[in-house]
């Protein structure tokens, strides 16, 4: 069974555009869980342009499913996560000025750094996942860091699939095979949508979790949040 974790960053972006508390991020998390999502994801960045650090803290008292916090493990982020102790932390190597995540970790060159950060979180009982490209060497390198899971960075698949390239799934199939053989759990995310999620799920064995935000929130503008969450659940379970 593949779990659906809904990234609510875009709801915070909308709130921050006007200030105030509309939409209410905490109520949105409650509603999304009630609609059937298996988890809530947030990705606070240093400039707090969408999810704020205080949002992440407040959500810890709201989320009753799995709580996943993503981010670059700068000291402030590490302190935030250790203070909250979510179900999972996903480490992403995004620059402070990045609009969105745009690459996976170089798990070979950053092996020792990642080992230190990951062990710190694991000692606190937090499951760890690291963002990686579908590169066999990077997946094998992830194993050496001690991480519990990887999250496959799926932007290249999503773009190619939208152009009709079905073979774009092949590197991800191979990466997932290697990860499973290494004993790593497999998550995925970035630009997955209602259009491509079923194909991705059907072709990636042992897929534990997908984290979806931008597409899901955009689709909800037209079809409604409850309906869209249920549509994703159906595609992930069919």
The model's pLDDT over 147-206, given as tens digits with 9 standing for 90+, comes to: 999 999 999 999 999 999 999 999 999 999 999 999 999 999 999 999 999 999 999 999
> Looking up tokens 């799920």, which residue turns up?
201
What pLDDT shows up at residue 222? 97
Q: What is the DSSP letter of 1?
A: -
pLDDT bracket for residue 99 (50, 70, 90):
very low
Sketch out the chain's domains with CATH numbers: 3-237 (3.20.20.70)
pTM of the model: 0.95
Q: What are phi and psi of 40, to 5 degrees?
A: -125, 135
Tell me what pLDDT residue 94 has: 77
H helix and E strand count, the chain: 11, 8
Omega before 23 within 30 of 0, i.e. cis: yes
Spatial separation of the C-alpha atoms in residues 136 and 105, rounded to whole Å: 13
185: closest CA among 60, 68, 43, 61?
Answer: 68
Nearest to 104 by CA among 154, 177, 161: 154
Q: pLDDT (tens digit, 9 = 90+) per residue, 67-98? A: 999 999 999 999 999 999 999 999 999 766 54
Residue 193 CB contacts under 8 Å (≥ 6 apart), including other chains: 158, 212, 215, 216, 219
Q: What average pLDDT does the segment 136-150 reach?
A: 97
Q: Which residues are known catalytic residues?
A: 43, 70, 190
């Amino acid at each position: 069974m593949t779990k659906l974790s809904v990234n609510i960053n875009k709801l915070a972006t909308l709130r921050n555009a006007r200030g105030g508390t509309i939409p209410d991020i905490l109520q949105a998390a409650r509603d999304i869980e009630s609609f059937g999502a298996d988890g809530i994801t947030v990705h606070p960045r240093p400039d707090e342009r969408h999810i704020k650090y205080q949002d992440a803290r407040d959500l810890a008292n709201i989320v009753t499913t799995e709580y996943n916090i993503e981010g670059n493990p700068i000291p402030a982020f590490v302190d935030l996560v250790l203070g909250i102790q979510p179900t999972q932390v996903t480490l992403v190597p995004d620059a402070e000025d990045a609009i969105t995540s745009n690459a996976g970790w170089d798990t070979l060159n950053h092996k020792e750094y990642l080992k230190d950060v990951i062990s710190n979180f694991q000692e606190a009982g937090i499951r760890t996942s690291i963002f990686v490209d579908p590169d066999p060497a990077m997946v094998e390198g992830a194993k050496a860091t001690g991480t519990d899971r990887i999250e496959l960075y799926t932007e290249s698949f999503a773009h190619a699939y939208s152009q009709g390239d079905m073979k774009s799934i092949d590197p991800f199939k191979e990466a997932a095979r290697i990860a499973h053989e290494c004993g790593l759990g497999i998550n995925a995310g970035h630009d997955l949508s209602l259009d491509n999620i079923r194909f991705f799920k059907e072709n990636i064995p042992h897929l534990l979790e997908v984290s979806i935000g931008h597409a899901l929130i955009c689709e909800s503008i037209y079809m409604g949040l409850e309906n869209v969450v249920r549509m994703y659940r159906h595609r992930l379970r069919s």
